[in-house]
Each structure stands twice: as C-alpha cells, then as structure tokens.
Chain A
Amino acid sequence: MSAPTQSAPVGQPSAPDGAPLLAATGLKVTFPLAAGLITRMRHEARVLRAVDGVDMTIGRGQALALVGESGSGKSTLARALAGLQRSDEGEIRLEGRVLPARRSSADQRTIQMVFQDPYSSLNPRLTVGGMLHELLRVHHVVPRAEVESHTRELLGLVGLSEDAVHAYPRQFSGGQRQRVAIARALALRPELLLADEPVSALDVSVQATILNLIQDLRAELGLTLLLISHNLAVVRHMCDTVAVMYLGRIIEVAPTEKLFAAPRHPYTAGLIAAIPRLTFSEEGDAPAVRGDPPSPLRIPTGCRFRTRCPVAQEICEREDPALTVSPGDPAHSAACHFAFAPVPPPRTPADEKATA
C-alpha cells in the first residue's frame, strides 16, 4: 500500500533538539455559567473549571492515552490542544514554539482530530470524495492535478474501496464512517492524530478493526497519537504512556505497563480495580471506588480526590498535591501526597515539594 503522507513534516522548520512535539503548561479552560441575579449581585459568577492546570508533553512518535471518567475534562483538554477551544491560561507549544490563540493553517494541519460519533462528525450532504477534494484543494496539500489520485490513495490507506468516492456518509456503516473520518484527518498530513473515543460509538465486533487500523497507520506513517478513552483495556492495547485525569487535572502519568502493574495514585488503582473482567473471582461487595465524582463546579479543597479516597488524611484537606515525579522512575509521576511515601505519613511528606 502506498503511503501518501510520509513526506516531510508540514510547515515549520524542524524543532530544536529535545523539544517534544506538543507540550502544554499550566493549561486552564473554564466555562462561565449563566448566573442568577443573587450570585451576580454578590459577584460570585459561577465558573466551571473543565481543565484546571494541566502540564503535559507528547513526544514525537509516542502513543499517549488520556483516561478519566466523564466530566474529568479529557475531551476539553483535547479540544484545547487541537485549537478548537480557547484556553484561559497556560500555553501550548508545538515543537518548542508557543502557539498563538489563532493558529496558522499550517499549525492547524499538524494536529488533526477523529471524533467519537462518526454519525454527526461528517457532513451528510457531501460525498466522501467531495469532502476530501475540498480539504486537499483548500489546504493545497497536493497540486490540483493530483487531487483525484490522492483521494483514492487516502481511501486505500484506511481500507475503503475506490467506489467510496461517490458515496454519502449515510450509505456507510458506523465502522466505515469512522474510516472516512480517519481518512479526512489524514488528508492534511498531520503529525499528531487526536482520537477522542474513536470506537465507543461502534459495535464490539467492529471496534477491533478500527483499533487495528489506527495501529497500522501509526506504524506506517510514524504518527503521534493522543487517544482519549474511558476504556482502559483499549488504552492498554494501544498506548505506551497513560495519563489519568480527574476533575480537570492530570493526577498520574506513567508508562502503560508500569501504570497497570503498580499504580501510585489511589484513584488510578481504583479505576483499574473497577474494570469488569472475564475472570470469575468471588470478590466482596465493596466497590473499588466509593461515591460519585464531585461536580466540576465544586472541586474539593486540597486534593480533589480526597472525598472518595480510601487513604485520605488531614493533610489532603489542606494541601493540593502537585504532580510529583517518582524518585525511582523519571517517567512516572503522580499527584498524591502519599504516592511515593508510606501511608499514613511520617508527619510531613518529604516528596511534596520536589517539583516546586
């Protein structure tokens, strides 16, 4: 199979050595909520902190997963990284260069998204060919004469037949639509593919074909992948690094195998224990994590997980733990006072200011 997007990176000259492909520091995204008269009179406008101070990096060629429950801010973070959502604070760097609020079209092309629902993310009035032709022409990806042939190459790349050029999205099944959505994203030769729950709207038997396709494309085109999923089994299968989000914050980052073998944050441990398995163990009735996640409108003081945490101490109420690098493994960090220290703490947790 030919690989039309294997050419040199789009736009900018190559990065200074060591700069990750994409990095975010102190990123915050908030949504103001319509406030009632009384709250306005008291000057307490209500603000939903969807992404509440996120630091993250994605290295070239990496496959990073972003996991968390609904309302944890993972989709908002992805949209902010893709430039589809303005951020309130913090900065996003592409190859070391700070991206402005309004991105150049070259920068937009570098990061492309695949959305969850292939039924609503494709234009129903455009044929697949029409959609891809438009993209290729507007962004001058290939010379006009080659638009036709390049479209066919793209369809071949995602495993669709050439007949698909003349078909409308409604003529496809969910899995095929998701292939069209992937072809649309790849048309602009992105370096980073941002997939937001790409298989959760699909039937179980079809999910595997799409996951396999994404993996093949990654190997073939050297794509960097940011995969957002609530399904930890999918994440473990697809990604080499996992970042866990809780209430707008990344609370643990680790290489996949490390995270599953030895999670350091109590929330991560609970999340892994809560996955239903095919094994038939007679466990007790106690759930892995108790309680409901708090509303992002009322993020608890101190550690945001303390209301559900099995090991919460008095310090958790007072101090918000920073994302701290493990003393034993620079690739592993967690935002818990006791992540790398015994519980209960010997008076003052020493590792707390390691990143300050």
Chain B
Amino acid sequence: MTDPAPTEPGLGMQLLQVDDLHVQIASRRGTVRAVDGVSLAVGAGEAVGLVGESGSGKSMTLRAIMGLLPPEAKITAGRVLLDGIDLTQLDHGQLNKIRGPKIAMIFQEPMSALNPVMRVGLQIAEGPLVHLGLSRAAAAQRALELMRRVGIPDPEQRFRAFPHEFSGGMRQRVMIAIALSCEPQLILCDEPTTALDVTIQDQILRLLTRLCRESGTSLIFVTHDLPVVAQVCQRLAVMYAGQIVERGTVEEVLTQPYHPYTLGLVRSAPDVDHPRATLAAIPGSPPSLITPPSGCRFHPRCKFAEEDCTTEEPPLRVLRSGRATACLHYERCQEALPLGAER
C-alpha cells in the first residue's frame, strides 16, 4: 500500500485511515472549503480527539467518514479507508452494511437522533435484528442486556418507554447502547456531552471510555472542549479553518503545544485548578472558508506571524513519531511561557 505524506508512522495496523480528505459545500456566496486536506489515522482500540471551534470542519470530517454529509456537501478528493476498504467509493446499500456493525455514531443531540415514536428498547434491538440476523426475542434480550450495561435503571420497564420519557443523560446512554449494539470497530462521537450538565457529562464520559476499553472499540471524539478530550482520548488532532494544524498525544499537545492556535486555546480557557489573573484571548475571529486567508490560515490572528506566514501555505510537517505541526515557526510556541507559569 502506498503511504501518502502525513500519516502517522509507527502504529502498525491502522483501523481507519483518512487521506487528504476534501469536502466542499456549495452555497450562494461561493464554495465553502469545509474540510481542506485532512489526513487522520486511528489504530485499533485507540481513542483520537478532533478538536476545533465551530466551523473548523471537525463535524464535517466525521460526517464524511460516516457517509452522512448533508446533500449540498460533496467529497471532492481523498480516501477514507476502513480495514482497507475505501468508504467514499461505496454506494448507499453498501454503506448501510458498514454502518452499525463496522462504524457507529453518537450525536450531540440525542433527542433529534432518536426516533420519537419508537420504543427505546426496539430502537436498540433494531441493529442486532437487521445486521446480526438475530431473532426478535434474541434481539430484545440483547437490547435489555445493553441497557443494563450502559446503566439504564429498570431495563425491563424502560424497554417500552419512548425517548421523551428519558432525561438528557439517559437518552445519551440509549445512544451509546445503540452504537454498541452491533459491536462496531469504530464509534464516531460528535460532541456527545456538550448538551449535558457537568455531573451527567462526567457519568457519560466515564461510561463511554470504560465500555470502549472493555470491548476494544476505537473512538473518534469530536469536541471543542480540551479537558473533555484529556479525559477520553490518547491522541489528539487540532483543526482550524478546515485543516489539521497540530497532532500528537493528548499529553504532549496540551502541555507543549507546537501551534500558536493550540497554545491560544489552552491559554484562553480558564483552568479550574489554576486560576490566572487574566486570560490570554486569541484576537479576531475564525476566517471565512469561502475566501480563507493566504498562506497560513491562522496568520491574521497569530502573534508570532512573520512575513513568510502570509505567503507560504504551511504543510503539516511530521516532527517525530506521531507529532506533527503546520506552523512554520513552531519553536516560538516553546519560547512562550509554559502552561500555568503566569499564575
């Protein structure tokens, strides 16, 4: 197999490999380059975080992998390889055979992802019924067992309940049960806890990490919340304006960012354990994806920007195993004060 430029070395078998993915959205004001050359690899049993602000293309990347792009969005280039099969080449029927037993997805808003007029138990049993060929009774039995595993109290009674009878946290547990129901190799999570309260978020994150660890399921976890990634993931990719700007292990990226945008994200959020006098805000706002800035897309907001940043589009350079940055002057991030030193 050919090994295109910025994939991760040293990780042996990759379960999922996204190569140079481009997604464009046609709009009245022009073509939005929502995802612009994203490459990503996920190993078996690994949890990878995809972090960025709204409009950075993280959700679009996830939807492109799942084949769930909105009708106005198109994959214009790139491959999505799952176990060697290119998902972008599959038709609707073939994708339906992959979704469920191979890949599952957990959405931010469970109320709009669940069927409001179908009993919760049957929604969980549907996957095993269709994909695993279980009988109705066996599928129902499996649904009950899954409800127990995700911590829904009184599964026998709750089996016949409708989604609106559940709380937000319980609905997200139902979503997790559905995602796990066909034992997929990979679960895609799109901000699964953003709509939840802190204590419920804590419960759901712990549940999700435990279940994936037990079953060896890989995760891609999309969020704008860095601490949430630190709880769930081993590796992390930071997205800005449709591109990945930095990649590495969670610990490395968060303690020693190699991109000024990551540095800004880490420093601009108040840290609950280490309050600081002032927050280092990132000036400006994210750029338009119809006419992105020339050169490095972050340069208009970057305090380290120099002449070459405005003209040269920096590639994602691999520095060492698994660690990559798209900043031409990443050394300057390290000259900046280490995390928490201005306390």
Q: Which residues of A contact B (CB under 8 A)?
A: 69-70, 173, 175, 203-209, 211-212, 215, 230-234, 236-237, 260, 270-280, 285-290, 292-293
Residues B269 and A233 in contact, CB atoms below 8 Å apart: yes
A273 to nearest B CB, angstroms?
8
CA distance A234 to B279 in the complex (A): 10
- Which chain B residues in 93-140 approach chain A with CB under 8 Å? none
Does B250 make an interface contact (CB < 8 A)? yes
Q: Which residues of B contact A (CB under 8 A)?
A: 53-54, 167, 169-170, 197-203, 205-207, 209-210, 224-228, 230-231, 250-251, 254, 264-266, 268-273, 275-276, 278-283, 285-286
CA distance A106 to B232 in the complex (A): 51
Residues of chain B lying within 8 A (CB to CB) of residue A287 = 199, 202-203, 206
Residues B199 and A203 in contact, CB atoms below 8 Å apart: no
Contact A173/B202 with A276-B227, A292-B170 known, Cβ cut-off 8 Å: no
Residues of chain B lying within 8 A (CB to CB) of residue A277 = 227, 230-231, 272-273
5 contacts between A and B (CB under 8 A): A208-B268, A209-B281, A276-B230, A278-B266, A292-B170
Residues A271 and B281 in contact, CB atoms below 8 Å apart: no
Q: Is the interface of B mostly helix, strand, loop or mixed?
A: helix
New contact pairs (8) apart from A205-B265, A274-B199, A285-B207, CB-CB < 8 Å:
A173-B285, A233-B272, A236-B270, A275-B272, A285-B206, A287-B206, A290-B203, A292-B167
Residues of chain A lying within 8 A (CB to CB) of residue B271 = 233, 278
Residues of chain B lying within 8 A (CB to CB) of residue A212 = 278-279, 281
Give the A-B pair count, Cβ closer than 8 A.
122
Residues B254 and A278 in contact, CB atoms below 8 Å apart: yes
Contact A280/B230 with A203-B285, A205-B268 known, Cβ cut-off 8 Å: yes
Residues of chain A lying within 8 A (CB to CB) of residue B265 = 204-205
Residues B275 and A289 in contact, CB atoms below 8 Å apart: no
Residues of chain B lying within 8 A (CB to CB) of residue A276 = 201-202, 205, 225, 227-228, 230-231
CA distance A212 to B281 in the complex (A): 8
Residues B54 and A203 in contact, CB atoms below 8 Å apart: yes
Residues B228 and A289 in contact, CB atoms below 8 Å apart: no
CA distance A205 to B302 in the complex (A): 12
CA distance A233 to B251 in the complex (A): 20
Which of the residues A206, A233, A278, A285 comes within 8 Å of B285, measured between beta carbons?
A: A206
Residues A289 and B199 in contact, CB atoms below 8 Å apart: yes
Pick from B198, B264, B271, B285 the residue with the most CB of A within 10 Å. B198
